[in-house]
């Protein structure tokens, strides 16, 4: 079975640009969460979607948005990129939205903003 897949794996963008990151969950998983991991810190929660509805949003500006599609894949969009948005963006999927040990992470997208 394929795990959580994220694309692209690496990305370089210029300040002010927009970026779209994609995530395909494990088959059967209906919950997708997005995290930002800055070097030297743990993953910080950005969004959670379950059954295509937003279930949670972390302390991130409105430049960050996300959505979940009917096939449960998800996109994270970031507008007006700042240097501080450079990070590893992790997607995690799970069968249910509330079992803390139940989610599986993808390998992440490394975003560099220059």
Partner 1 sequence: DQQVKQNSPSLSVQEGRISILNCDYTNSMFDYFLWYKKYPAEGPTFLISISSIKDKNEDGRFTVFLNKSAKHLSLHIVPSQPGDSAVYFCAATAGEKTSYDKVIFGPGTSLSVIP
CA distances from 89 to 1, 5, 28, 60, 70 (A): 23, 12, 22, 13, 22
- Token duo for residue 22: 């994609």
Q: Compute the distance between CA of residue 95 and CA of residue 37 in angstroms, rounded to an integer.
A: 23
Question: For residues 80 and 98, which CB has a smaller minimum distance to partner 1 in the complex?
Answer: 98
Residue 23 has φ and ψ, to the nearest 5°, of -145, 130
Least distance from C-beta 71 to partner 1, angstroms?
Answer: 20
Least distance from C-beta 65 to partner 1, angstroms?
Answer: 16
Least distance from C-beta 94 to partner 1, angstroms?
Answer: 8
Strand partners, 35: 45, 90
Residue ranges that bind partner 1, judged by CB under 8 A: 4, 31, 33, 40-45, 48, 55-58, 90, 92, 97-101, 103-108
Question: For residues 14 and 62, which CB has a smaller minimum distance to partner 1 in the complex?
Answer: 62
Question: For residues 7 and 17, which CB has a smaller minimum distance to partner 1 in the complex?
Answer: 7
- Token duo for residue 86: 């450079």
Question: For residues 28 and 42, which CB has a smaller minimum distance to partner 1 in the complex?
Answer: 42
């Amino acid at each position: 079975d394929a795990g959580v897949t994220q694309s692209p794996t690496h990305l370089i963008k210029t300040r002010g640009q927009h970026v779209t990151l994609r995530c395909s969950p494990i088959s059967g998983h209906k919950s997708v969460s997005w995290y930002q991991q800055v070097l030297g810190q743990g993953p910080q929660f950005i969004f959670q979607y379950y059954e295509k509805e937003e279930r949670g949003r972390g302390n991130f500006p409105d430049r960050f948005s996300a959505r979940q599609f009917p096939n449960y894949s998800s996109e994270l969009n970031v507008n007006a990129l700042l240097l501080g948005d450079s990070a590893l963006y992790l997607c995690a999927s799970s069968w249910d939205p509330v079992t803390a040990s139940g989610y599986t992470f993808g390998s992440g997208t490394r975003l560099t903003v220059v």
